[in-house]
Structure 1
Amino acid sequence: MAQRPEPEPITVRTDKLAEIDALAGAMGRSRNDIVNQAIEQYLQANAWQMERISDGVAAVRDGKVMPADDVFAGIAAKHGWQR
Protein backbone atom coordinates (compact mmCIF):
# COMPACT_ATOMS: atom_id res chain seq x y z
CA MET A 1 0.00 0.00 0.00
CA ALA A 2 1.35 3.40 -1.00
CA GLN A 3 2.04 5.84 1.79
CA ARG A 4 0.46 9.25 1.76
CA PRO A 5 3.01 12.04 1.51
CA GLU A 6 3.45 14.06 4.65
CA PRO A 7 1.59 17.36 4.56
CA GLU A 8 3.69 20.45 4.05
CA PRO A 9 2.96 23.63 5.96
CA ILE A 10 1.81 26.64 3.98
CA THR A 11 2.08 30.32 4.74
CA VAL A 12 -0.90 32.66 4.87
CA ARG A 13 -0.44 36.42 5.09
CA THR A 14 -1.47 37.85 8.43
CA ASP A 15 -4.12 40.15 6.94
CA LYS A 16 -5.73 37.19 5.14
CA LEU A 17 -5.61 35.08 8.28
CA ALA A 18 -7.62 37.71 10.13
CA GLU A 19 -10.21 37.70 7.32
CA ILE A 20 -10.36 33.90 7.36
CA ASP A 21 -10.84 33.87 11.12
CA ALA A 22 -13.58 36.50 10.92
CA LEU A 23 -15.41 34.51 8.25
CA ALA A 24 -14.98 31.26 10.16
CA GLY A 25 -16.35 32.87 13.31
CA ALA A 26 -19.34 34.35 11.50
CA MET A 27 -20.12 30.97 9.92
CA GLY A 28 -19.49 28.93 13.06
CA ARG A 29 -16.83 26.91 11.26
CA SER A 30 -13.16 26.29 11.76
CA ARG A 31 -10.36 28.12 10.03
CA ASN A 32 -9.36 24.78 8.52
CA ASP A 33 -12.85 24.29 7.01
CA ILE A 34 -12.78 27.73 5.40
CA VAL A 35 -9.28 27.30 3.95
CA ASN A 36 -9.99 23.81 2.61
CA GLN A 37 -13.28 24.92 1.03
CA ALA A 38 -11.56 27.89 -0.61
CA ILE A 39 -8.78 25.68 -1.97
CA GLU A 40 -11.27 23.10 -3.27
CA GLN A 41 -13.32 25.79 -5.06
CA TYR A 42 -10.17 27.30 -6.55
CA LEU A 43 -8.95 23.93 -7.82
CA GLN A 44 -12.35 23.03 -9.29
CA ALA A 45 -12.68 26.38 -11.07
CA ASN A 46 -9.19 26.19 -12.53
CA ALA A 47 -9.55 22.53 -13.58
CA TRP A 48 -12.80 23.45 -15.37
CA GLN A 49 -11.10 26.41 -17.05
CA MET A 50 -8.11 24.34 -18.18
CA GLU A 51 -10.43 21.69 -19.62
CA ARG A 52 -12.31 24.34 -21.62
CA ILE A 53 -9.01 25.75 -22.90
CA SER A 54 -7.82 22.28 -23.94
CA ASP A 55 -11.16 21.67 -25.69
CA GLY A 56 -10.81 24.99 -27.52
CA VAL A 57 -7.26 24.23 -28.65
CA ALA A 58 -8.40 20.81 -29.91
CA ALA A 59 -11.30 22.45 -31.78
CA VAL A 60 -8.90 24.83 -33.51
CA ARG A 61 -6.60 21.94 -34.41
CA ASP A 62 -9.57 20.06 -35.88
CA GLY A 63 -10.77 23.12 -37.82
CA LYS A 64 -14.01 23.31 -35.81
CA VAL A 65 -14.08 27.07 -35.45
CA MET A 66 -16.07 29.97 -36.87
CA PRO A 67 -14.85 33.47 -37.67
CA ALA A 68 -15.55 35.85 -34.79
CA ASP A 69 -17.65 38.13 -37.00
CA ASP A 70 -19.98 35.20 -37.78
CA VAL A 71 -20.32 34.38 -34.07
CA PHE A 72 -21.08 38.01 -33.17
CA ALA A 73 -23.56 38.32 -36.03
CA GLY A 74 -25.35 35.17 -34.85
CA ILE A 75 -25.60 36.48 -31.30
CA ALA A 76 -26.87 39.86 -32.51
CA ALA A 77 -29.47 38.21 -34.75
CA LYS A 78 -30.64 35.96 -31.92
CA HIS A 79 -31.27 38.97 -29.69
CA GLY A 80 -32.48 41.35 -32.37
CA TRP A 81 -29.50 43.69 -31.94
CA GLN A 82 -28.15 45.93 -34.67
CA ARG A 83 -24.55 45.39 -35.66
Structure 2
Amino acid sequence: MRLPDDLSAQLNALAKATGRSKSFLAGQANRDYIEREAWQIGQITQALQKADAGDFASETEVSAISAKWQRHAG
Protein backbone atom coordinates (compact mmCIF):
# COMPACT_ATOMS: atom_id res chain seq x y z
CA MET A 1 0.00 0.00 0.00
CA ARG A 2 1.40 3.39 -0.94
CA LEU A 3 1.04 6.08 1.68
CA PRO A 4 1.85 9.78 1.67
CA ASP A 5 5.19 10.47 3.32
CA ASP A 6 3.67 12.05 6.42
CA LEU A 7 1.30 9.14 7.01
CA SER A 8 4.09 6.66 6.39
CA ALA A 9 6.23 8.44 9.01
CA GLN A 10 3.36 8.29 11.52
CA LEU A 11 2.87 4.60 10.82
CA ASN A 12 6.59 3.99 11.27
CA ALA A 13 6.58 5.81 14.61
CA LEU A 14 3.53 3.91 15.80
CA ALA A 15 5.05 0.58 14.77
CA LYS A 16 8.20 1.35 16.74
CA ALA A 17 6.26 2.57 19.78
CA THR A 18 3.98 -0.47 19.89
CA GLY A 19 6.46 -3.14 18.81
CA ARG A 20 4.11 -4.11 15.98
CA SER A 21 4.94 -4.32 12.31
CA LYS A 22 3.71 -1.67 9.90
CA SER A 23 1.86 -4.42 8.02
CA PHE A 24 0.03 -5.50 11.16
CA LEU A 25 -1.01 -1.94 11.99
CA ALA A 26 -2.09 -1.18 8.42
CA GLY A 27 -4.09 -4.41 8.29
CA GLN A 28 -5.78 -3.59 11.60
CA ALA A 29 -6.60 -0.07 10.42
CA ASN A 30 -8.14 -1.47 7.24
CA ARG A 31 -10.11 -4.06 9.20
CA ASP A 32 -11.48 -1.41 11.58
CA TYR A 33 -12.42 0.88 8.71
CA ILE A 34 -14.14 -1.86 6.72
CA GLU A 35 -16.08 -3.15 9.74
CA ARG A 36 -17.24 0.38 10.62
CA GLU A 37 -18.28 1.17 7.06
CA ALA A 38 -20.07 -2.19 6.65
CA TRP A 39 -21.97 -1.55 9.91
CA GLN A 40 -22.98 1.91 8.73
CA ILE A 41 -24.15 0.62 5.34
CA GLY A 42 -26.12 -2.11 7.12
CA GLN A 43 -27.83 0.46 9.35
CA ILE A 44 -28.69 2.66 6.37
CA THR A 45 -30.06 -0.33 4.47
CA GLN A 46 -32.25 -1.34 7.42
CA ALA A 47 -33.54 2.22 7.79
CA LEU A 48 -34.37 2.41 4.08
CA GLN A 49 -36.23 -0.89 4.26
CA LYS A 50 -38.27 0.40 7.21
CA ALA A 51 -38.97 3.66 5.38
CA ASP A 52 -40.01 1.79 2.23
CA ALA A 53 -42.39 -0.28 4.39
CA GLY A 54 -43.87 2.91 5.85
CA ASP A 55 -42.49 2.19 9.33
CA PHE A 56 -42.08 5.73 10.66
CA ALA A 57 -42.19 7.21 14.14
CA SER A 58 -45.55 8.60 15.14
CA GLU A 59 -46.01 12.30 15.80
CA THR A 60 -46.23 11.51 19.52
CA GLU A 61 -42.92 9.61 19.45
CA VAL A 62 -41.18 12.43 17.59
CA SER A 63 -42.56 15.01 20.02
CA ALA A 64 -41.35 12.98 23.01
CA ILE A 65 -37.84 12.69 21.61
CA SER A 66 -37.78 16.39 20.71
CA ALA A 67 -38.89 17.34 24.23
CA LYS A 68 -36.21 15.10 25.73
CA TRP A 69 -33.44 16.75 23.71
CA GLN A 70 -34.75 20.24 24.43
CA ARG A 71 -34.64 19.50 28.19
CA HIS A 72 -31.04 18.27 27.94
CA ALA A 73 -29.94 21.18 25.75
CA GLY A 74 -30.95 23.97 27.99
The answer, yes or no, to whether TM exceeds 0.5 is: yes
Q: Secondary structure at the match of 1:81?
A: helix
CA RMSD of aligned residues (A): 2.5
Q: Could you tell me how far apart the structure 1 residues matched to 2:59 and 2:18 are?
A: 45
AA of the residue aligned to 1:61 = D
Task: Give structure 2 stretches of 5+ with no counterpart.
Answer: none
Q: Deviations over 1:23-63 (max 9, x none)?
A: 11111111011100000000000000000000011010000
The percentage of counterpart residues that share the same residue type is 29
More helix by share: 2
Q: Could you tell me how far apart the structure 1 residues matched to 2:58 and 2:70 are?
A: 20
Using the size of structure 2 for normalisation, the TM-score is 0.81
Higher relative contact order (CA 8 A, sep 6+): 2
AA of the residue aligned to 1:62 = A
AA of the residue aligned to 1:52 = Q
Q: Could you tell me how far apart the structure 1 residues matched to 2:66 and 2:13 are?
A: 46
> Please, which moves more after superposition, 23-32 or 36-45?
23-32
1:42 to 2:33 alignment: yes
1:75 to 2:65 alignment: yes
Q: Could you tell me how far apart the structure 2 residues matched to 1:13 and 1:68 are?
A: 50
Task: Give structure 1 stretches of 5+ with no counterpart.
Answer: 1-9
Q: Could you tell me how far apart the structure 1 residues matched to 2:2 and 2:58 are?
A: 46
Using the size of structure 1 for normalisation, the TM-score is 0.73
